[in-house]
Chains A and B, each alone.
Chain A
Amino acid sequence: MQEDHNVTKNFLGSENDVFCVISVDGHFSYFNDAAPKFFCCTAEEIKEKTIFDLMSPLDIERTKQAFQKAVEGTPDTIENRFGPEEKPCWVSWNIFHAEGLIYAIGRDVTSVYEDRETLQTAQNRLRLLHQATSNPNQTLGEKIERVLNLGNLQLGMQTAVVSYIKEGSYSIVRAKSDDPRYVKGKEFDIKQTFDGIVLNAGNLVGIQDIKNSVYDEHPAHTATKFESYIAIPLYVDGEISGVLSFAGNEAQPKEFEITDYDFVRLVGQWVSSSLALLFANEQIAYTAAIVGSSEDAIIGQDRNGLITTWNQGAEKLLQYSAEEIIGKHFSILIPDEKKEEADRILGELLKGESLEHYDSFRKKKDATFVDVSVTVSPILNEEKQIVGASSVLRDITREKEIDKAKTEFVSLASHQLRTPLSAINWYAELLRDGEAGKMSKQQKEFVDEIFIGNQRMVRLVNELLNVSRVDFGNFSIDPVEIDILEISRSVVKELVPVISKKKLNVSEIYEEKTLMYLADPNILRIVIQNLVSNAVKYTPEKGKVIVKIEKQTVAKRLLIEVSDTGFGIPENQQERIFSKLFRADNVQEMDTVGTGLGLYVLKSIVEESGGSVTFDSTEGEGTTFTVLLPLSGMKKKEGGKSLSQVTP
C-alpha cells in the first residue's frame, strides 16, 4: 500500500497538477508540491487550514456537496476558485472517496475561465450595442448618442466624441460627455485634441495613463485635462472623415484589454457606416429644404405623367395644395392650347432626347392662367433609367409686363421720333434742292451731312420698331403668291450704287426666270435685303457676292443663299451673331455702319415663317448665309402690325 502510495505520489508529484488527500471536513492529510501555487499560499498555511478556508466562499457549498456525493459513491468533477477574488486561480478537480478520505486531483483551468469571461464581456457588449442601435423609433443621431453613452460606461470613460475632420477643420458631430464643452456642432483646433494622433496613426490608439506616457506634454493634455484616451479613425467612402474617441478624466486602472480594443473597433465600424448615412440624410434634408422653400414651383412626375412631388412654390403659384394634386395627371395644369406642346416635350424627354427651357403658361386652380418659364429635366434612377420628369416653373408675369412696357415704349418713342425726323429730312431736302436759294459748296456739303445723318436715324428708328414688333410677336405674316426673283432682283438693283462704288462682282444664280412662291412680300424683302446688303456692306472692294435662290423639291424647301468673300465673322463671336445689338469686333473696328439689329430681326421672322437660318463663316475669307423656308410657303401669322423696310 505504501509502495502504491509512493508510486502514485511520484506520478502525481508533477508541477502541473495538484494532488491532495483530504478528510471529509476539509483537513489536509496530504498535498503535493504543486499545491501552494494552486491555493495561492504557503505549504504551512495549507497544513493549518482546511481546503474550505482557502477557496472562494462562493464555491464552498458546491464543493461540500461534491464531497458528499463522492462519499456516497458517485464521484464527480468540480471547479472552484482559490486566491484573490479579483484574479482567482481556477482549479478543475477529479475527486473520489476511499477509506474515509477524499482523493482529489486538480488542474489549473484559469486561462480557460479567463477566455470564457472575455467572451462573455464581448458577448455582453455586443448585446448592449445591439440594444442601443436597434430602436426603430430613434433617429440616427439619437442612436449614435446612445452608443457613445454605452462606450463611456463600458470603458469607464466620461467623454465620448464623434468628430468630423476635413481639411484641417475639426467639429463635433455628436458627443456624450459630462463636460459641457463637448457638444454637437462645436469646433476645435485639431492640434488641441488627441484625435490628431489617431489621424496620423490611421489606426486604433489607446493611452491608458496620459500623464505617464509620451503624450504628457501634448497640447491636448493641457487643453482637455484628459488622463486616458482610446480612439479609432472613422472611414466614410474610403477616407478618414473623423474620429470616434472615448476619454477619461482619470487614468485607467489597468492597460486596455483586447476586449476594449475590439469593442472600440466594433463601435467605430458602426459609427462609420452611420456617419455615411447621417451625412446622406443631412444632405437629403438640406436639398429637400431648398426645394421646399423655393419660390419657383418644382414639380415631379412619373413616367405616366402623374404628379409625385409638389413644393410650396407650386402651391403658391398654381393654388393647388400638395394633398389635392399629388397622384393627379399633370395635364390638369396645362391650358388646352398648350397640351400638344407639353405632350411633345414630355415624350421627347422620356425618350431621353432633349432638355427644354421655354416660356409658356399654366392653368391655375381658379382656371386663370399664369405666364411661366419652364425648365424640364428627366429624373434618373441609379441605373440611369428615366423614371419621370421634374419641371421648374418660374412666374414671369412681372417680366412679361416689363417686356410689354418696354416694347410699348420703344414703339411709342419710335413713332414720336418720326415726326421731327421727317421735319429735318424735308427741310434739308428743301435746302439741297435750292428751294431757299442757291447755297455755297460748303453750305451744300454741310446740309448733305445733316441729311445723311438723319437718314441713318430714320433707319435706326425703323429697325427699332421692327425689333419691338418682333419682340412683341405682334407682326403679321400674310403669304401671297409672288415672284420671289422679282423681289431679289429689285433688292440687288437698289444696291447698285454701293456695288459699283466698291467695284463688287455680284452674281445672281436663278434656275428659272420667275419663281412663284407663297410669301409675305414685305417679310421676304426684309430677309433678302438684309442678307444682300450685309454681304455688300461687309465685303471689301473688288470682292465677290453670290445670290442664289432655288426650289429644292426633294427636300421640300426653298433655299435663299447669299455668300461673299468678305471680312467673315470671328469664330469666337459666331454664336452671338443673331443676338440683339451684337456687332462683330472686326467690322466695328472698320467703322462700317450698322445697328446690330438686322440679323436679330431676320432670324425671328424666318423662324416665325416656319424656316431656319444658318451661316458658315471664316474670318478673312467670307461668309455664306443660308435661309431655308418650307416649299409649301411661309406660315401665316396674325399680328396686326407690319414690319418696316429698312433701306440701306
Chain B
Amino acid sequence: MFRKKKQILVLEDEAALSKALCIKLENEGFQTTSVENGEDAIKLIDTRMFDLAIIDLVTPRIDGFGVLKHLHSVNKDMPAFVVSNLSQKEDMKEALSMGANKYFIKSNISLTEILDEAKSVLGE
C-alpha cells in the first residue's frame, strides 16, 4: 500500500550538518527539504505542508526564533524541534515558549536520538 512519506523541513546553515541529518532521516523513510536561511524556511512554510520542522537557531537573514514564531502563527499544531549549539537557559526557555516541542544541543545529541524523537512525535 502506498504510504505518503512524512515531510520534514530542515533549517540548518551548516551544509555538512544538514546533509548528515537528512541522510539519516531519509534512510529511515522520511522526505526532507533542507534550507540554509530563515527567509527560505518561511517561504516554504507558507507554500508547503510539513509534518515536522527541525530548526537551528543561529541562521542567516531570519533566525530560528523568527521562523518558530512564524510557524506557530500559521500552523499551531505543526511540531518543531530546535537543534542548536546555543545552550543558554533563556534561549531554551524562549524557544520552548514559542512552541518548540524539543530542544537539543547539537554537539550533545546523536542522529539516532533525533530520529527516534522524530519517529515518536510523528507516530511512526
Contacts and interface: CB of A to CB of B under 8 A. Distances in A.
Of A415, A422, A429, most B-chain CB atoms within 10 Å: A422
Contacts of B17: 419, 422-423, 426
A476 B27 CA distance: 40
Nearest to A478: B89
Contacts of A419: 14, 17, 85, 106-107
B88 A641 contact: yes
Contact of A476 (B85, B87, B89, B105): B89
A425 B88 contact: no
A435 B27 contact: yes
Interface residues of B, number: 22
Q: Interface residues of A toward B: which range?
A: 20 to 34
Contacts of B20: 423, 426-427, 429-430
Interface in A413-449: 415, 418-419, 421-423, 425-427, 429-430, 433, 435
A640 B90 contact: yes
A456 B85 CA distance: 17
B88 A418 contact: no
B108 A462 contact: yes
Nearest to B110: A429
Given A419-B17, A423-B16, A644 B105 contact: yes
23 contacts: A418-B105, A419-B17, A419-B85, A419-B107, A422-B85, A422-B106, A423-B16, A423-B17, A423-B20, A425-B107, A426-B17, A426-B20, A429-B20, A430-B23, A458-B107, A461-B107, A465-B87, A640-B89, A640-B90, A641-B89, A642-B87, A642-B92, A644-B87
Interface string B3-18: 0000000000010110
Interface in B1-43: 14, 16-17, 20-21, 23-24, 27
B97 interface: no
B112 interface: yes
Given A426-B17, A427-B20, A640-B88, A418 B110 contact: no
A461 B105 CA distance: 13
Contacts of A647: 108
B44 interface: no
Contacts of B49: none
A642 B92 CA distance: 10
A421 B17 CA distance: 10
B111 interface: yes
B25 to A, nearest CB: 11
Contacts of A642: 87-89, 92
Nearest to A640: B90
Given A644-B105, A644-B108, A426 B21 contact: yes
B50 to A, nearest CB: 22
A422 B87 contact: no
A462 B110 CA distance: 16
Given A422-B106, A423-B16, A430-B111, 17 more contacts: A418-B107, A422-B85, A425-B110, A426-B20, A426-B110, A427-B16, A427-B20, A429-B24, A435-B24, A435-B27, A458-B107, A458-B108, A461-B107, A640-B89, A641-B90, A642-B89, A644-B87
Nearest to B21: A426
Interface of A: 415, 418-419, 421-423, 425-427, 429-430, 433, 435, 458, 461-462, 465, 476, 478, 640-642, 644-645, 647
A427 B23 CA distance: 10
Contacts of B14: 419, 423
Contacts of B111: 426, 429-430, 433
A422 B88 contact: no
Interface of B: 14, 16-17, 20-21, 23-24, 27, 85-90, 92, 105-108, 110-112
A427 B105 CA distance: 17
Of A426, A641, A645, most B-chain CB atoms within 10 Å: A426
Nearest to B14: A419
Contact of B85 (A418, A426, A429, A433): A418
Nearest to A451: B110
Nearest to B108: A458
Given A423-B14, A435-B23, A435-B24, A418 B106 contact: yes
Contacts of B112: 429, 433
Nearest to B20: A426
A422 B107 contact: yes
Nearest to A426: B20
A644 to B, nearest CB: 6
B106 to A, nearest CB: 4
Nearest to B88: A641
B87 to A, nearest CB: 6
Contacts of B89: 476, 478, 640-642
A458 to B, nearest CB: 5
A421 B110 CA distance: 12
A427 B90 CA distance: 30
A476 B91 CA distance: 13
A428 B14 CA distance: 17
A433 B116 CA distance: 14
Of B21, B89, B112, most A-chain CB atoms within 10 Å: B89
Nearest to A461: B107
A561 to B, nearest CB: 29
Nearest to B86: A415
Contacts of A644: 87, 105, 108
Contacts of B106: 418-419, 422
A415 B108 contact: no
Contacts of A423: 14, 16-17, 20
